Structure 1
Amino acid sequence: MRRALQHLPPPIEALAIGASAGGIDALITLFSGLEPPWRAPVIVVLHLPEDHDSQLAGMFARRLGIHAVEAAPGAPAEPGHFYVAPPGYHLLVEAGRTFSLSCEAPVQFSRPSIDVLMESCADAYGESLAGLVLTGANEDGAEGLAAIRAAGGLALAQDPDEAAQPAMPQAAIARANPHAVLPLAELRPLLEKLLRP
């Protein structure tokens, strides 16, 4: 399933990542040792239960030594920051590249939804966006990654052959035809090239 990237895109201005089951471990693998400065914000949706507070931002900050925060409505998406969606809300990036939250119905049984984030980022960033779909057990992220590709951005997916749950990257590959499909060990240096100033 592996597909290498043929050439690096122009400098990106944001990286949107979606993951579900197995996603925490995948993100830790990708970002270990990849501390800022970064040229772009990293904006992450992980599927979470809605009925309790998330400790993700603090956990990523401690484990990775990065500035990880829960995205707040009205706050700007700033380079060098690692943003996670709060539980129970869709996370969007507006045209002015600030965050907003929505209580609209779940998408693909999920709120926050990867599709919602990526589609809003595609509108806000266009061809200066990169999107990555990681491990997960449903099809959330496939439409969002397709929107990123349609807007001229860089579409990436984890190789489903190594994913803890292959359904999500498989759906993204089938729907979005990503520019690259790579295992985590090869995504890691690619993200470094995309994010380093």
Structure 2
Amino acid sequence: MSGLTLPAAIEAVVIGASSGGVEALRRLLPALPAGLAASVFVVLHLPRGRGSLLAEIFGRVCALPVREVLDKDPVLPGTVYVAPPNYHLLLDSGPQLALSMDEPVEYSRPSITVLFESAAALYGPRLLAVILTGAGADGAEGLAAVQRAGGCCVVQLPADASVPQMPASALQRTSADFVLTLEDIMSLFRQLPRSSA
């Protein structure tokens, strides 16, 4: 992956995944460096009507604190936020987190596109957006919004994904800055700026 470099001023990372996403994120999130300056937001499609153990599962392998989002939580740097089941996750001015029970988007709530669009509006070119393995087309419109706002767009190489449909749909809808294997996305994450504090 030599020669691939991130913009220097990334303040937020948004990640969307569906089928195969738990295993992909269990590999990917440990690559986030301790002391990361950016905040990280994750939407993973989950069955409705059940509690989520994602914060606990990912917290065991991640160097950063991992939290399930509560409505109106302030956004802290160096923290991984996971959307709860059956709620859209949005970013609002402050910045702070917001949860919504609006209608599903692309049959999904939480929707990757809803998160990506709100993050693009808030962070613009300071945003890194990542689409991982999954079925369906959720996230494709959101990634296009990130690109229009000047953010950096990363898509998992469809051939590398457990379920290639979602990355392929994103690439049909918009061009990505990087189309990478999971291993190369991990290398990209290791380049993210750390806090000077």
TM-score (norm 1): 0.94
Distance 1:58 1:172 in 2: 29
What's the CA shift for 1:7? 4.4
2:51 alignment partner in structure 1: 53
Unmatched segments (≥5 aa) in structure 2: none
RMSD of Structure 2 on Structure 1 (CA): 1.6
Distance 2:33 2:5 in 1: 24
Distance 1:107 1:35 in 2: 32
2:151 alignment partner in structure 1: 153
Residue 166 of structure 1 aligns to which amino acid in structure 2?
Answer: P
Q: How does 1:8-47 map to 2 (within 5 A)?
A: 8-47=6-45
What's the CA shift for 1:10? 2.9
Distance 2:152 2:107 in 1: 26
Identity of aligned residues (%): 45
What's the CA shift for 1:78? 1.1
Distance 1:32 1:55 in 2: 17
Q: How does 1:70-109 map to 2 (within 5 A)?
A: 70-109=68-107
* Count of aligned pairs between the two proteins: 195
Of residues 127, 130, 135, the one that matches 2:128 is: 130
1:166 alignment partner in structure 2: 164
Distance 2:41 2:99 in 1: 13
Matched, 1:189 2:187: yes
What's the CA shift for 1:65? 4.4
Residue 95 of structure 1 aligns to which amino acid in structure 2?
Answer: S
| 3-state secondary structure, aligned to 1:137 | coil
Distance 1:109 1:149 in 2: 23
What's the CA shift for 1:5? 7.2
Contact 2:158 / 2:167 at 8 angstroms: preserved in 1?
Answer: yes
What's the CA shift for 1:142? 0.4
